[in-house]
């Protein structure tokens, strides 16, 4: 069996490491330390708040998409976070990300296309209402069709201002008070 021969090793000097990796050390220091030491011009060291680099997500995971979808469906931030395995604060962070905003816009475009595709069914429903046996259903369908196509304009008598509505309410109150 062969013996392993150990070589002598001298550790690198700290200054050698700092010089070789100065840029990486500075980036890590700036990211991890929110306070940056600056010279205040009075011979002492002042401190000023340095802003942390903003964290931008490059890609959404399946969990991210699930959480965003839950929010869009009306779930609260807390509920969506619990289902997806995040904390509620992370949901706020996630919804502010440009990639999340793009995903939400994509979902909205998809839903808009789906809504447009239902137009034919809406027309068929109105047509079915016009052919219904019940005269009230036929009249409501006809009114809806005329309003949708812009052929039915409200009469001048049916247009009420806010003052008319308030006056009608007050008259109703006076009538109720006087009848008691």
Helix, strand, coil shares of the chain, percent, nearest 5, are 60, 5, 35
CA separation for the pair 66, 84 (Å, rounded): 7
The answer, yes or no, to whether residue 89 has pLDDT greater than 70, is: yes
**Per-residue pLDDT tens over the stretch 110-168:** 999 998 999 899 889 989 999 999 988 888 988 888 888 888 775 555 667 777 777 77
**Per-residue pLDDT tens over the stretch 63-80:** 999 999 999 999 999 999
* Average of per-residue pLDDT across 36-50: 50
36 SS3 class: strand
* Average of per-residue pLDDT across 47-52: 49
54 — pLDDT class (breaks 50, 70, 90) = confident
Contact 34, 50 (CB under 8 A): yes
pLDDT at 177: 44
The separation between CA 150 and the C-alpha centre of its own chain, rounded to angstroms, equals 35
Contact 58, 102 (CB under 8 A): no
CA separation for the pair 41, 48 (Å, rounded): 13
pLDDT at 31: 62
The answer, yes or no, to whether residue 36 has pLDDT greater than 50, is: no
CA separation for the pair 119, 126 (Å, rounded): 11
CA separation for the pair 46, 37 (Å, rounded): 6
Q: How far is CA 105 from CA 75, 98, 111, in A?
A: 18, 10, 10
Note the pTM of the prediction, 2 decimals: 0.49
Contact 72, 104 (CB under 8 A): yes
* Length of the chain counted residue by residue: 180
Half-sphere exposure of 20 (CA within 13 A, CB side): 6
The answer, yes or no, to whether residue 22 has pLDDT greater than 80, is: no
């Amino acid at each position: 069996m062969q013996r392993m021969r150990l070589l002598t090793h001298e550790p690198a000097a700290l200054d050698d490491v700092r010089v070789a990796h100065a840029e990486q050390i500075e980036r890590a220091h700036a990211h991890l330390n929110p306070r940056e030491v600056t010279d205040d011009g009075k011979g002492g060291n002042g401190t000023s708040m340095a802003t942390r680099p903003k964290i931008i997500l490059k890609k959404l995971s399946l969990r991210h998409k699930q959480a965003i979808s839950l929010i869009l469906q009306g779930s609260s931030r807390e509920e969506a976070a619990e289902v997806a395995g995040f904390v509620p604060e992370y949901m706020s962070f996630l919804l502010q990300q440009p990639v999340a905003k793009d995903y939400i816009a994509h979902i909205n475009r998809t839903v808009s296309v789906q809504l447009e595709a239902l137009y034919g069914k809406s027309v068929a429903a109105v047509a079915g209402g016009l052919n219904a046996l019940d005269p009230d259903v036929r009249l409501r369908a006809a009114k809806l069709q005329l309003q949708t196509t812009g052929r039915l304009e409200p009469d001048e008598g049916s247009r009420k201002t806010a003052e008319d509505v308030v006056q009608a309410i007050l008259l109703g109150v006076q009538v109720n008070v006087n009848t008691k």
